[in-house]
Amino acid sequence: MTKKPKIELSALEGRIGHAFQDRSLLARALTHLSAPAAGGADRTQSYQRLEFLGDRVLGVVIADMLYQGFPQASEGELSMRLAKLVRRETCAAVAAEWDVGPHLAMGQGEARAGGRKKEAILADICEAIIGAAYLDAGFAAAHEVVARSWRPRMDADVSPERDAKTAVQEWAQARALSAPRYVELTRSGPAHAPHFVMQVVLEGYEPESGEASSKRAAEQAAAQAFLARRSGA
């Protein structure tokens, strides 16, 4: 029998930093597409729509925090920091800190496959919870949720970020390779809150992709992913 989110969510709300007025929003944010209630044509009962919203809210909040926190930083540095803070790994780490796993509603097969610990699922759940907090109590509440878990990460990374695109170009030049190319894979979302997925292409190597709320930040994220995979190569 598929496990559903625990009825008692006070401890989870405490870790998130928001007490929901409408707990059905939190329950939906914890519902994976594989759960019976979210299956079939009615996908609106899963976390997917909330994840879409939360992704955009997270980007805006982090951008604001970076703008206020690093008044001397260039746009390139801010973009690099943004890409690092909103990437899948960071969101999954936050969800793990919130210990959302035991509360997730998902199909038996997904649960047996380790779905409660999968990085991609945890990252989506994290963003869905942010979206749920936004709908429950507005932008200020969502801002507080994000700041509570992301500010320590932002403050801990005090040194300026190296420009990843420049680093990839230098990496390619050192190996007598052609200059890297950046390809737009997808663009989604409304005009005021777009979401880009960009790919860095280097002849002879597997391409890497990155995503962010601006094309430049997504390119930096893709370059950072390329460097991370081939560090020491």
List of residues 6+ apart from 14 with CB closer than 8 A: none
Give the active site residue among 51, 55, 110, 124: 55
Burial (Cβ within 10 Å: 0-12, 13-18, ≥19) of residue 102:
exposed
CA distance to 123, 171, 182, 209, 225, per residue, from 231 (Å): 24, 10, 20, 16, 10
Task: Tell me whether residue 55 is one of the annotated catalytic residues.
Answer: yes
Give the active site residue among 127, 161, 211, 219: 127
β-partners of residue 31 are: 105
Q: Could you give phi then psi for residue 201, rounded to 5 degrees? A: -120, 125
Residues tagged active-site: 55, 127
